[in-house]
Homo-oligomer: A and B are copies of this chain.
């Protein structure tokens, strides 16, 4: 049971100070004391410890405001490195970053979906190995490895419970990596949830306490951040909203249900419509939403298909608003690259269908980290696990 012993207080305050320095650096001890309400002496003591731990450094003298000039403090983004890996349906993408998610090294590899699990995991381990070799000399070195997968995950064990597009079923991914790197934290999590974390720490979600990240690609997944924290639900299924039924009498989804949202507001829908409209020239291997959006400028048929998709996207976004009532919805994934061809009809559809007046409409915005959301989010998950736990967030 979580009792309040005195050291808890110290942990809370130390985290608070570190978060403040990270968010608002450069900042002086005096300013920290003012904005947190902590005593100057307390702040000084905590800052001294953070400096000794290499998470903070003094970065010179600031401007005077009528008295002694302050010593400015900065978050030390080079205290260690983070590794983030995105496992896609047919590619691996790995990044090595500092604690500020600046990319120090990255690599992308394709594989055939037909390759077996072992081969894919081997390739992933090679990538991680390469990243570790590239890691700069820092006080903490590589602080951990985060991995995003397109499926449902059991986080404690790091098992991929169910990943239909990979055809994975109960794969103990973290166990393999933990055996290889026993000293490093390994985090396995759903790709949309990690992308949400990425946007929260380093992207469009930074200013919000409650937001939902929507990963719209082949399917639709979501990462739900409530009270500054990722919400997973009891078994990590929270946010599987691509399988919300928006058309009880609609078409069958691969999940077994009928009329799932992701049958109407994803690449699946676009492909189906392209086929129906005899535009199968777009259905080749190099199919890309970005290219389609470009072509749509002078191709009304393509524009209409994108717009339809956007309208269906809006239907589901309405549900997101009623379910979570967030400050913002961040759209990411390939579909977000169609930009206003998709997003604008989605916004219109929401406005048309929504129950209450304008003030309560959350903003619908586009991912800031783009195709890097997941990998950077995977790195951010390590940061959160090791350096900046969210558990003390203001309730």
Residues of A at the B interface (CB closer than 8 Å) are 1-6, 8-13, 16, 35-38, 152, 161-162, 210, 226, 231-241, 243-250, 255-259, 264, 312, 315-316, 318-319, 321-327, 352-356, 359-360, 362, 391-392, 394-395
Are the C-beta atoms of A360 and B245 separated by less than 8 Å?
A: no
Q: Nearest-CB distance from A99 to chain B (Å)?
A: 23
Given contacts A9-B4, A246-B246, A356-B162, contact A238 B323 (CB under 8 A): yes
Q: How many copies does the complex hold?
A: 2
Are the C-beta atoms of A1 and B35 separated by less than 8 Å?
A: yes
Q: Nearest-CB distance from A62 to chain B (Å)?
A: 22
A250 to B315 Cα, complex, angstroms: 13
What residues of chain B lie closer than 8 Å to A316, measured between beta carbons? 245
Task: Pick from A9, A237, A354 the residue with the most CB of B within 10 Å.
Answer: A237
A224 to B257 Cα, complex, angstroms: 24
A356 to B161 Cα, complex, angstroms: 9
What residues of chain B lie closer than 8 Å to A161, measured between beta carbons? 356
Q: Nearest-CB distance from A344 to chain B (Å)?
A: 19
A237 to B354 Cα, complex, angstroms: 11
Q: Nearest-CB distance from A213 to chain B (Å)?
A: 14
A321 to B238 Cα, complex, angstroms: 7
Given contacts A237-B322, A360-B237, contact A355 B243 (CB under 8 A): yes
A8 to B236 Cα, complex, angstroms: 32
A2 to B356 Cα, complex, angstroms: 32
Given contacts A241-B322, A324-B323, contact A10 B4 (CB under 8 A): yes
